[in-house]
Structure 1
Amino acid sequence: MNSNQTHLTVTRTVDVPAKDVFDLLTLPARHHEFDGSGMVRNADDTERIDKVGEKFVMNMHQEALGGDYRTHNFVTAYDENKMIGWQPADEAEDGTAPTEPVGWEWLYELKAQGAGSTEVSLTYDWSKVTDQKVLERIGFPLIPQEDLEQSLNLLAAAVTKP
């Protein structure tokens, strides 16, 4: 991996309309279904994401990060049926909610490929992380490309599930 690299992007086509993919991506309660890293446990929030500036809380688990923890995710991109993205920030040990994200982003971009097919791109971007302590603690990329590819495979399975 190039030490100057600041993002990973994976792409695949799913055989459903972009609206169906977007509907799934905007429901934090279903994010665990398409997490290829196995870190997402469940969401505290069950409301559908519908604009930039919203926040949703996820319960997470990663041994390398000390076990169970919670992230507050700041919605940074929203274009109905085309794009959704968020930047996470860890909750403080005392349970205090963060006031701003730490700098890495998850971005899903959807491109309709006719009526019943969608090209989905997932970008994991850590270019905005400036806190040296965070960079050292996380060791980007924490999530390898294979896990991102698995996320899109799981997304395809979840969105086609009856």
Structure 2
Amino acid sequence: MGQRQVSGTRVIAAKPEEIFDLLTDPARHPELDGSGTVVGNRKSSHQRLELGSTFGMDMKIGASYKILNTVVEFEENRLIAWRHFHGHRWRWQLEPMEGGTKTKVTETFDWGPARWSWLFRFTPYPRVNRRNIEKTLDNLQDRFAERASSSGDEGDDGGSR
């Protein structure tokens, strides 16, 4: 990734479609969030996110606030990215593996298109976001590992930490 991006990748024991269903439902984003800042879903222009959809989130970093996001990249079951008014993006890329039974998931925080991207050089956010991405991927991995173990599947969860 470039200088203005941080990302993390994990192999998850789930089909891309299952993970994409989670990502395109903003009401479920707090379930995955590793930062602890995504509190709840405000509103969405669509029941399921698609290119151009807008969705609001209740957030909290010290103080509570609201943020409106727009889906700016979309490829069914492979890619979704959203940005808010400042311009930086959260991107999720999904690559099927092992005949589609596992998925290589890459989450990226991209502040390159942000209005004042140079400000990020003076903040801890790139380092903090990298850590939070890893926690989010942990949450995603755990969600599907729990499902596999509750269905009696004793196989490897496919992840590496």
TM-score by length of 1: 0.79
| Structure 2 equivalent of residue 26 of structure 1 | 24
Structure 2: distance between partners of 1:10 and 1:111: 14
Amino acid at match of 1:107: R
| Structure 1 equivalent of residue 156 of structure 2 | none
Structure 1, residues 102-154: CA drift from partner, whole Å, max 9, x if none?
11100000000022100000010000123379658966427331211111111
Matched, 1:112 2:110: no
The Cα of 1:156 is off from its aligned counterpart by: 2.2
Structure 2: distance between partners of 1:81 and 1:132: 29
| Structure 1 equivalent of residue 115 of structure 2 | 130
| Structure 1 equivalent of residue 83 of structure 2 | 87
The Cα of 1:44 is off from its aligned counterpart by: 1.4
Provide structure 1 residue ranges, at least 5 long, that are not aligned to the other structure: 89-100
SS in 2 for 1:147: helix
Paired residues of 1:43 and 1:58 also in contact (CA < 8 A): yes
Structure 1: distance between partners of 2:100 and 2:118: 46
The structure 2 residue matched to 1:15, chosen from 10, 13, 16, is: 13
Structure 2: distance between partners of 1:132 and 1:115: 37
SS in 1 for 2:47: coil
Structure 1: distance between partners of 2:119 and 2:129: 18
TM-score by length of 2: 0.79
| Structure 2 equivalent of residue 57 of structure 1 | 56
The Cα of 1:5 is off from its aligned counterpart by: 2.3
Residues paired across the two proteins, number = 144
The Cα of 1:53 is off from its aligned counterpart by: 1.1
Structure 1: distance between partners of 2:133 and 2:144: 16
Paired residues of 1:33 and 1:158 also in contact (CA < 8 A): no
The structure 2 residue matched to 1:73, chosen from 69, 74, 84, is: 69
Paired residues of 2:120 and 2:126 also in contact (CA < 8 A): no
| Structure 1 equivalent of residue 154 of structure 2 | none
Structure 2: distance between partners of 1:102 and 1:49: 23
Provide structure 2 residue ranges, at least 5 long, that are not aligned to the other structure: 148-161
Evaluate the alpha carbon distance shift between residue 20 and residue 145 of structure 1 in structure 2; reply closer, same or farther with a 3 A threshold.
same
Amino acid at match of 1:74: T
